[in-house]
Structure 1
């Protein structure tokens, strides 16, 4: 089974399926995060491997919630309009100036500095939260 775990770590889902023997079963679940469950027959051993599509960890729920709150405030989103991790700034009515103001609000709230290149890559609440987690981690390291 050890070779299967190595295969999961270094190959695409289709390659993993090809590498696993017929005595194992694999199930793939995809969203932003990829989960692979491997079970070996007749054993009941199960492994769950979690990795993001980009190789980076997703932000904590608290960070995402705080970013949602800041985005709602900056864009004056009406009550009842949901802002979630998947919300795109453009779909919430943000133009480039609004996005700059959101980034400034995030910098102030989290006591971080976002460089211009990174700021241009932010399109969703999740993008912003992931970047904040990365910057906060780098700052405390």
Structure 2
């Protein structure tokens, strides 16, 4: 169980980090300033997000692997569709390198204006699926 304490700015940042770490777990439970989010509530939210995703799970998994490789993240770092590049420590140059890796892996070309709209793994996977379907 993750417990978040401290000032409101610090707590907000730590809560976002905790949520990013548990977004891929099956039964997370988070306590924040005495308020507990049960695992069933988080699972319902995760299921709801999974249903609305446009990209195939295998595309999301490939993007996760590429992001981990480009950012030199450890194998135990949780990266899922909702993971934001900035929260994983990526700066603008890292994001460009991630996009280049995605272009190479999927055989696509990402326009600069489209690349600037990518903030999460899911955004990248959705864009890839869209570009692949347009090229087919």
TM-score range, shorter chain: 0.5 to 0.7
- Give ranges in structure 2 of 5+ residues lacking alignment: 1-43
Aligned-pair CA distance for 1:32: 3.5
Which residue among 63, 78, 103 is the counterpart of 1:82?
A: 78
**Aligned with 1:32 (options 34, 49, 53):** 49
Partner of 1:138 in structure 2? 134
- Gap change, CA 1:81 and 1:126, over 3 Å in 2: same
Once the two structures are TM-superposed, the CA of residue 33 in structure 1 deviates from its matched residue by: 6.4
Q: Identify the match of residue 119 of structure 1 among 97, 115, 118.
A: 115
Q: How far apart are residue 92 of structure 1 and its match?
A: 0.4
In the superposition, the TM-score normalised over structure 2's length comes to 0.63
Q: Spell out the pairing of 1:8-87 with structure 2 (5 A cutoff).
A: 31-32=48-49, 52=52, 58-87=54-83
**Cα RMSD after superposing both structures:** 1.6
Alignment length, in residue pairs?
Answer: 91
Normalized against structure 1, the TM-score is what? 0.61
List 4+ stretches of structure 1 deviating above 6 A.
none
Residue number in structure 1 paired with 2:95: 99
SS at structure 1 position matched to 2:87: helix
Higher strand share: 1
Give a deviation string over 1:72-128, Cα, whole Å, max 9, x none: 000001121101011000000000000000000000000000001100000000000
Q: Distance in 2 between matches of 1:83 and 1:33?
A: 14
Find the aligned partners of 1:61 and 1:33 in 2 and give their Cα distance. 9
